[in-house]
Amino acid sequence: MFSNTIYYIALAAPLLPLFIFAICRNKIATGTPFLSVFLSLIAVDSLTNILNVVMDESMGNVMIIVNFSVFIQSLLIVYLYKFFNTIHNKILISTVILIAMSFVVESILKTKLLEPNTLSIIFSHTSIIILGWYILYNGYRNTSHFQFQVTAIIVLFNIVFLIKLLFQEKINDSIQLFDFVFITSSLFYLGVYLSFSRSIWLLQKNLD
């Protein structure tokens, strides 16, 4: 019961930064490309969570939604990285092409539609982590505090869930471990969106 409560609270978490932005939108430059893409990323995740609940109730399987969501969010994150001018556009374009190819190929080749696109998801997480670390290390002097915070959180998020994905079979073998990881990952996910919310709130405070 407790774990389900935490889970559903976490699913609603992406709505919080969108709500804060709606309150503060008159103070924040809504035309800023980085912010617009970032909010689109959050909106996609929020919609994904809603669809996951619907699919889970109707079909008992959410992998179709998850596969497409990870793909779309990965493309949005790579597009976010474009605004740092730290990585050559050819590298970013190549990354987008490889992410798209891995998604399409695995979707075609896998035997069951309701299975996770494990390899393409691992590739997407890994690409985001490597590019993100490069930006944080080499481009921090040329970025705003808001952009640095958002990128750092995105990188940390992808590291945590990549590790979880790599050890998913071991996690599934133990009920106790599964319950622990389920609650911990839900709390971490909630923390990520609380951090995003704080970043947006501080952004508008700094503009006062």
pLDDT of residue 1: 63
The phi and psi torsions of 27 (rounded to 5 degrees) equal -95, -15
| Mean pLDDT of each 10-residue bin along the chain, 208 residues long | 84 95 76 88 96 87 90 97 91 96 88 79 96 90 87 97 93 91 94 95 73
d(CA 39, CA 57): 27
Q: What is the DSSP letter of 95?
A: H
The radius of gyration of the chain from alpha carbons, rounded to an integer in Å, stands at 17
Domains in the chain, number? 1
pLDDT of residue 70: 95
Q: What is the DSSP letter of 27?
A: T
pLDDT of residue 195: 97
DSSP assignment string, 126-178 = HHHHHHHHHHHHHSGGGS-HHHHHHHHHHHHHHHHHHHHHHTHHHHHT-HHHH
Name the CA dihedral angle for 145, 122, 78, 156, rounded to a multiple of 10 degrees: 0
The phi and psi torsions of 112 (rounded to 5 degrees) equal -125, 130
Q: Which amino acid is at 183?
A: I
Closest Cα partner for 28 from 161, 125, 144, 108? Answer: 144
d(CA 179, CA 9): 16
Side-chain half-sphere of 107: how many Cα atoms within 13 Å? 15
The pTM of this model reads 0.92
Helix axis angle, 63-81 to 89-109, nearest 10°: 170
Report pLDDT digits (tens) over 24-35.
Answer: 877 676 558 899
Q: Which domain holds residue 18?
A: 2-206
pLDDT of residue 206: 65
pLDDT of residue 123: 96
d(CA 76, CA 119): 19
What are the residues whose beta carbons fall under 8 Å from the beta carbon of 192, sequence distance 6 or more? 13, 153, 156, 157
CATH assignment of the domain containing 145: 1.20.1070
Report pLDDT digits (tens) over 33-52.
Answer: 899 999 999 999 999 999 99
